[in-house]
Amino acid sequence: MGAGTHFIGQGKGNPDSLTDILRQAGATTIRDEISWGQVETQPSVLSVPPAQDEYVRSAVASGLDVLIILDYGNRFYDQGERPTSEAAMAAFTRYATFMAKHFRGVVNKFEIWNEWDIPIGGVTGPGDPADYMRLVRTVSVALKEVDPNITVVAGAMTNAAMYNGFLDGTLAGGLLQHCDVVSAHPYNWGEELQARRPEAWLTRMDWLQSKLRDHNGGRDFPVYVTEMGWPTQIDERGIATNRAGAHCARMYLLAATLPYLKGLWWYDLQDDGWGATEPEDNFGLIRADETPKPSYYSYAAAAAFLRGARFRRRIPTPDADAWALFFSSQGSHDAIALWSAHLDDDWSVVLRDTHGKGNGKLTVEELGRPAIPRRWGRREWYSDQDAPILHDEMEVTLRRNPIIVRGSLDGVEVTRVTKRPFPESSRSEGLYWE
C-alpha cells in the first residue's frame, strides 16, 4: 500500500511530518518524481538537487520503499516537449541512467514517464504510443544495465488510454517484453454514479488484465496501480469525504482479491490547496494543513486489517451488490468483510453457520472502529413477537462502510439479503453529500 506524495516534484508540505503521517497509516511505499528538468539544468550536466536527494534517502531510511517517476520534458531538447527526436531520447536515457546509478542500492523501482498519452507536466497535445515505446525500449535496457534487479515500470497511462487505443498501441509495440510491471491510473471518479464505485474499478482492473493476458500467452502479468482515488470537490464529479473514505476501504479490500496486482498507490497523500471546486485540491488523504480526512482513517484501517489477513474467497450472496469476502487470519479467528455497494438504503444480510451450528464467539466492527461481542442467534421479533431464535444464524445491516465479522467462520454462508428502505438521498443534502 502506498500513496503519491509530490514532495519532490511539486514541493508540497513538510516532508518529515508527512512521512511520519504516512507510515503511521500503514503505508509501505511512496511514489514521487525527480523530473528531467530538475536534474539537467544545464546541457549535459546532471545533478540531483540536495533537498530531493535527502528526502529520498530519509524516506528509505525510515522504512518506506520509493518508486521514482522518470518524466517530463527538458527545455534543452525538443522545445521541452516529449523526447521524440533521437537526440532527445538519448539525453532522456542518459538522465534515466544517471538516476539509477545515483540511487543504486537505495531505489530499485523506476516508472518511465507519467501519463504520456495526455498533455501534462508542460508538454502539449496527445502522446503517441509508438513514440512512447521507442523510449521505453531504450530506457528499460539502460536501467537493467545499471542494475538487473531494478523493477522497470512502464505504461503509467490514464484511464482513457486503456480504451482509446493507447494501451493497444503499447502492447503491439512490445510493452510486456520491455518492463517488469505495467502501471495504469484506472480512475473512475468522473463517471456516472454506478460506474464510480470501487466495485466498478474492480471490473476495470480485470478488463485490463485480460488485455495483458492476450499478449502474454494467457498468463497474468504484474500490474501496479500507481494512481487511484476519489476527489471530494463540490461539483457533480466529486463525492463527500465520508463516502470517499468508504470507497478507499472497499478498494483496498477488493485489491486483495487480485493476485496480479502488486502495488496500489492512493492519489494522493495531501490536498494541493483549499479550492472547494478544484479536484486537485481534494484528492488527499489529509488536508493541506495535515488534518486527516475520513479517507486517511479508512486507509489506515484497511492497512491494519490486511496486514494480518489473507484473502481466500468471495462468498456468494443472493444480491450481487452485497459483498462478502472471506479472509483467513494469522491468529485464531477468520474474518468476513461485508458491505453494500448499493448507492442508498440499508441492506441486511443473514449469515448461517453451516458447520459449527452457532456455538462460536463472534465480534463485529465497522472497519477501523472498536469491535463488539456478538453471539450466534437471530430472532425477527420486529416482524413477529413470537418468532423463535435461529441459533445458527445472525443478521448484520450494511451500508457503504465495510463491516468485519470475526470468529470461527469456515462454512459460513450468506442466505438472504433484504432491503431496509432508508433513503439518505431524500435528505436535503442529497445522496453524495452525506
Residue 131 lies in a domain: yes
Residue 434 lies in a domain: no
Residue 160 lies in a domain: yes
Pair 113, 197 in one domain: yes
**Alpha carbon distances (Å) from 70 to 29, 37, 98, 101, 145:** 17, 10, 11, 13, 17
How many structural domains are present in the chain? 2
Q: Rounded to an integer, what is the distance from CA 19 to the centroid of its chain? A: 18
Secondary-structure percent of the chain, ordered helix, strand, coil, rounded to 5: 30, 25, 40
Pair 150, 22 in one domain: yes
Phi, psi of 42 (to 5 degrees): -130, 145
Residue 267 lies in a domain: yes
Residue 24 lies in a domain: yes
Q: What is the pTM of this model?
A: 0.96
Pair 284, 269 in one domain: yes
Pair 356, 245 in one domain: no
Q: Say which CATH number the domain at 360 has.
A: 2.60.40.1180
Pair 107, 130 in one domain: yes
Pair 196, 223 in one domain: yes
The DSSP-derived string for 295-327 is HHHHHHHHHHHHHTEEEEEEPP-SSTTEEEEEE
Pair 113, 56 in one domain: yes
Angle at 71 between CA 110 and CA 15, to 5 degrees: 75
pLDDT digits (tens, 9 = 90+) for 118-176: 999 999 999 999 999 999 999 999 999 999 999 999 999 999 999 999 999 999 999 99
pLDDT digits (tens, 9 = 90+) for 288-303: 999 999 999 999 999 9
Pair 287, 405 in one domain: no
List the domain range (segments joined by +) for residue 300: 2-309
pLDDT digits (tens, 9 = 90+) for 52-109: 999 999 999 999 999 999 999 999 999 999 999 999 999 999 999 999 999 999 999 9
- Written as one letter, the residue type at 247 is H
Q: Say which CATH number the domain at 278 has.
A: 3.20.20.80
Please, which residues bridge with residue 225 across strands?
A: 184, 264
Pair 78, 201 in one domain: yes
Nearest to 394, CA basis, from 428, 357, 431: 357
Domain end, chosen from 287, 309, 331, is at 309
Nearest to 299, CA basis, from 280, 288, 283: 283
